[in-house]
C-alpha cells in the first residue's frame, strides 16, 4: 500500500499543545466477532499487517496444545511469560532463567538477541546501577523459552528453533492460519526484532483470531483448552505480560476488565473480549506506540465495555498529559471521537 493510500485512514489520536493540534496519528481498527463478522471498524482493515508481538498468545497456544507445558510441569506463570513483551525487570529475568533450568537449558540457548531492558528507558536514573543486559532481559525472552520448551518436547533440534522451517514454527504458522482463517501460503513471512518469524495478514483477520481466542468458537477440544489456558494465564499474571506501569498490566489488573490485552511493535494493539465474543485489532500507521493503546481504550469506551468507575480509574490510559521540563502541563495526547463505523 502506498503512502497516499495509507493517508486515507482516519486520524485516531491527536497531540495538542495549547490551543493547537500539533501532531496526529492515523490508523485502522477492526472489531470482529467470533463468527468473522465486522462489528465496528475504522480505516482500511483489509490491509496486510504484521501483528508483531500481539500474536504471542497464539504462539503460546502451540506450547500447550503439543503437550510441552504439561511434559515439563510448567504453569500459568511461565505461560504468561510466553505471551509477554516484558519490561526486563529483575523478576522477569529470574523467572525466565528458572524456566530454562526446568527444561535443561540456559541463557546461551536463547536466540532472541540482547537489548537494554524497557524499564531502563522509562527510568533512566537507574541505568548507572544496571549491571548489563543479557538475553533474559529481552522483552521476548519468555516467548523464546517457550519455543525451546516445545522444541525439546517435540524431540527436534533446539538450535535454530526460530527458522521458519523448524517444526515449532511450522506448527505455529498452521495454528495462526486456523485461528485467523487466513491461509498460511498467503501470509508474508519476515523476521521480528527478536529474530522469530513474523507472519502477515489482514487486520480484520487478526481481529477474528483474537475473538476465537476468547470464546474458542469452532475449535476442537485440545485447541480450545490451549486458548482458554492462555487467556487464563494472562489474566492471572498481568505483571508478567508487561510489567510495572505498562498499559496491558494496568488494564488486565482492573476488576472491571475481563479480557486480555497485548501490545505489538509499530503501533499494534490487540484486545480479546470473551464476554462480548469480540476481538479488537489496532494498527497505527506511523507505528506510534503512544497512540496504539489509547485507540484500544477508545474502542472499549465506544463499546461500553467498562463501567463508569473503571473509566475513572483507567483515565490515565485514555489521555496522557504533555508536560514541559518544569513539570507544567502544556497539552495532551488524546483519542479522536466519532471515527468508528458500526455495522449495527
Instruction: Domain ranges for the chain, please list them.
Output: 3-342
Band (261; pLDDT cuts 50, 70, 90): very high
Q: Is 66 exposed, middle or buried (0-12, 13-18, 19+ CB in 10 A)?
A: buried
Q: What is the pLDDT of residue 127?
A: 53
| pLDDT tens-digit series, residues 188-200 | 999 999 999 999 9
Q: What is the pLDDT of residue 120?
A: 77
Q: Which fold has domain 3-342?
A: Beta-lactamase (3.40.710)
Confidence check: pLDDT of 229 > 90: yes
219 alpha carbon, distance to own chain's centre = 22
Q: What nine digits make up the cell of 257?
A: 476488565
Band (219; pLDDT cuts 50, 70, 90): very high
Alpha-helical segments (H) within 242-307:
247-253, 289-303
Taking the CB of residue 304, how many other CB atoms lie within 10 A of it? 8
| pLDDT tens-digit series, residues 32-85 | 999 999 999 999 999 999 999 999 999 999 999 999 999 999 999 999 999 999
Rounded CA gap, 205 and 213, in Å?
12
| pLDDT tens-digit series, residues 174-191 | 999 999 999 999 999 999
Alpha-helical segments (H) within 181-220:
203-215
Q: What nine digits make up the cell of 216?
A: 474458542
For the entire predicted model, the pTM comes to 0.94
Q: What is the pLDDT of residue 3?
A: 42
* DSSP codes joined into one string, 1-41: --HHHHTTSPEEEEEEETTEEEEEEEEEEEEEETTS-EEEE
Confidence check: pLDDT of 5 > 70: no
Q: Rg of the chain over CA atoms, in angstroms?
A: 19
Amino acid at each position: 500500500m502506498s503512502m497516499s493510500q495509507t493517508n486515507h485512514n482516519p486520524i485516531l489520536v491527536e497531540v495538542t499543545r495549547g490551543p493547537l493540534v500539533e501532531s496526529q496519528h492515523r490508523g485502522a481498527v477492526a472489531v470482529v466477532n467470533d463468527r468473522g463478522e465486522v462489528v465496528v471498524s475504522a480505516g482500511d482493515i483489509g490491509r496486510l499487517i504484521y501483528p508483531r508481538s500481539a500474536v504471542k498468545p497464539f504462539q503460546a497456544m502451540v506450547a500447550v496444545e503439543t503437550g510441552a507445558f504439561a511434559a515439563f510441569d510448567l504453569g500459568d506463570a511461565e505461560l504468561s511469560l510466553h505471551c509477554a513483551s516484558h519490561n526486563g525487570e529483575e523478576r522477569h529475568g529470574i523467572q525466565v532463567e528458572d524456566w530454562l533450568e526446568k527444561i535443561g537449558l540456559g541463557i546461551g540457548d536463547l536466540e532472541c538477541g540482547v537489548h537494554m531492558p524497557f524499564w531502563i528507558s522509562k527510568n533512566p536514573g537507574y541505568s548507572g546501577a544496571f549491571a548489563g543486559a543479557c538475553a533474559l532481559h529481552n522483552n521476548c525472552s519468555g516467548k523464546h523459552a517457550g519455543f525451546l520448551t516445545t522444541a525439546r518436547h517435540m524431540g527436534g533440534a533446539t538450535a535454530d528453533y526460530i527458522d521458519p522451517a523448524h517444526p515449532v514454527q511450522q506448527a505455529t504458522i498452521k495454528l495462526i492460519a486456523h485461528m485467523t482463517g487466513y491461509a498460511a501460503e498467503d501470509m508474508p513471512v519476515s523476521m521480528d526484532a527478536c529474530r522469530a518469524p513474523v507472519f502477515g495478514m489482514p487486520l480484520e483477520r487478526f481481529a477474528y483470531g483474537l475473538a476465537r481466542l476468547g470464546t474458542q468458537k469452532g475449535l476442537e477440544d485440545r485447541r480450545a483448552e490451549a486458548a482458554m489456558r492462555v487467556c487464563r494465564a494472562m489474566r492471572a499474571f498481568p505483571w508478567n505480560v508487561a510489567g510495572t506501569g505498562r498499559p496491558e498490566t494496568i488494564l488486565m489488573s482492573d476488576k472491571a476488565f475481563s479480557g486480555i490485552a497485548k501490545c505489538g511493535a509499530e503501533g499494534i494493539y490487540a484486545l480479546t473480549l470473551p464476554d462480548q465474543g469480540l476481538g479488537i485489532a489496532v494498527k497505527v500507521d506511523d507505528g506510534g506506540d503512544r497512540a496504539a493503546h489509547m485507540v484500544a481504550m477508545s474502542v472499549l469506551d465506544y463499546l461500553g465495555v467498562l463501567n463508569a468507575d473503571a473509566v475513572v480509574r483507567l483515565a490515565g490510559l485514555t489521555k496522557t498529559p504533555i508536560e514541559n521540563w518544569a513539570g507544567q502541563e502544556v497539552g495532551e495526547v488524546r483519542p479522536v471521537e466519532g471515527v468508528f463505523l458500526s455495522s449495527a
